[in-house]
């Protein structure tokens, strides 16, 4: 399974649009355009297909953690209890 396959499956499973993914990547200060992002979701035989590198997938996963859970508390801060 390639990084592109993993990225596609996460996108579908979490019902994320391109805008959502761009915002998630911005949470970890990683900038990407919608057209660059679209190249990852094309079929491999498409002329504008691009392989998703480890760095992009890693940044997406780190951003997804922040998106789902919120930012990590700074050292010394006490975590707020969930309600």
pLDDT tens for 18-51 read 999 999 999 999 999 999 999 999 999 999 999 9
* pLDDT over 60 (residue 62): yes
Question: Strand, helix or coil at 26?
Answer: helix
* pLDDT over 80 (residue 80): no
Q: 2: pLDDT confidence band, cut at 50, 70 and 90? A: very high
The whole-model pTM stands at 0.81
Q: Contact at 8 Å (CB) between 11 and 20?
A: no
């Amino acid at each position: 399974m390639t990084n592109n396959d993993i990225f596609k499956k996460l996108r579908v499973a979490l019902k994320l649009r391109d805008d959502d993914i761009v915002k998630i990547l911005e949470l970890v200060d990683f900038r990407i355009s919608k057209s660059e992002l679209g190249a990852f979701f094309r079929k491999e035989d498409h002329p504008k297909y691009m392989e998703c590198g480890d760095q992009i997938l890693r940044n997406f996963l780190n951003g997804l953690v922040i998106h789902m859970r919120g930012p990590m508390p700074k050292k010394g801060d006490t975590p707020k209890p969930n309600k």
